[in-house]
Amino acid sequence: MWLFIRRALQVIGLCGVVALGGLVWRQSIDNSFIEACVFGMMALTAIAVVAGFGDGGSGAIALMPVEQGADSVVRVAEQRFAADIALVVKLLQSHLTANTNYSETLTRANADLPQLRSTEEIRTVVLTLIDENRKVQAKIDELSKSLDESVNKFEKLRSNLAEANDKAMRDALTGLGNRRFFDQELSMALEDDPVVCLMMCDLDNFKAINDKFGHAVGDMVLKQFADILNAAARRDDLAARLGGEEFAMVMPSVSPVDAGRVADHIRRQLEAKKWMLGGSVALGKVTASFGVARRRSGETAADFFKRADAALYRAKSDGRNRVVLDLDA
């Protein structure tokens, strides 16, 4: 793409020579042709800048919500991005000035042509235009190089922004999506698929684990439970840690019965896991409770979440370590 644009800029930069041929043979030239040369170069330059931005031709970078921990990273990247935008604007202004000067030279030459009477006078005009063309070509080459450097910077900044946004949407401990990721993905799933189930899960008596064995052991339990969730998730399922010991999984295109089977599979895997803390010290059995609901027609994400959470609460109230389905869909 950039090679093509540079070639186009070079061709347009030689428009002065083409115009000169017309001047010599016809003794006149339409000023609109000069304007076309100038604005043609400006347009292709602008296209060159825009071509490096965004995805899908949108010309913009969409920023997702960020958590406080990654906020400063995104802000710094945005400031650098704005600085490079200003640099490109300055380059374009310089290019516009050069083209304006070139246009004025052509206009003066056009005005002088009817008064030319000798080959020496014509030769002087020719040399002047050739010299001006070389200056403009040098400016074009300089601008093209600067734009290439700016595009490389933009690509790096865009990559840094994407990385910062991804980190801001992930739970640092487990690597699962965080609450903001969950809210976003749930809303998108409800827009894309009318048949969506939501699994809510909560580790039983997790506070007792932290109190007895310490937060390091509690973190280990959270991470390994997240691994079990990820392993059980289907291709389109999205697992997230909502906070503390509470997790959720968005499950598109599945019946509540099948979603319940997945939840029970996760429950049994967790219950059967042997937790050893080194040597002969055993953590004991770790269990979790689950609530599963299917979205009702026209139901909002907030109401859908409340029903799944209510099913989880019933699983806790009924004795924990179980799966409760909300079949009222």
**Other CB atoms closer than 10 Å to residue 108's CB: what's the count?**
12
Distances, alpha carbon 169 to alpha carbons 60, 65, 220, 241, 242, in Å: 20, 8, 21, 11, 11
Q: Active-site residue 246, yes or no? A: no
The continuous run of DSSP H or E covering 324 comes out as: strand 323-326
Hey, which CATH number is domain 179-326, 3.30.70.270, 1.20.1260.10, 1.10.357.140, 2.40.160.10?
A: 3.30.70.270
Model confidence at 35, in pLDDT bands (50, 70, 90)? very low
> Given this model, what pLDDT does residue 90 score?
62
* Domain boundary assignment for the chain: 2-168, 179-326
Model confidence at 152, in pLDDT bands (50, 70, 90)? confident
> Given this model, what pLDDT does residue 136 score?
77
Rounded to the nearest 5 percent, the helix, strand and coil shares of the chain are 65, 10, 25
Tokens of 58: 């949108």
Q: Which of 185, 245, 271, 299 is catalytic?
A: 245
Model confidence at 106, in pLDDT bands (50, 70, 90)? low
pLDDT (average), residues 235-257: 96
Model confidence at 1, in pLDDT bands (50, 70, 90)? very low
66-98 confidence digits (pLDDT tens): 445 555 655 665 666 566 566 655 655 565 566
Q: Angle CA(237)–CA(228)–CA(232) in degrees, nearest 5?
A: 35
**Residues ≥6 apart with Cβ < 8 Å to 31:** 107, 110
**Other CB atoms closer than 10 Å to residue 22's CB: what's the count?**
14
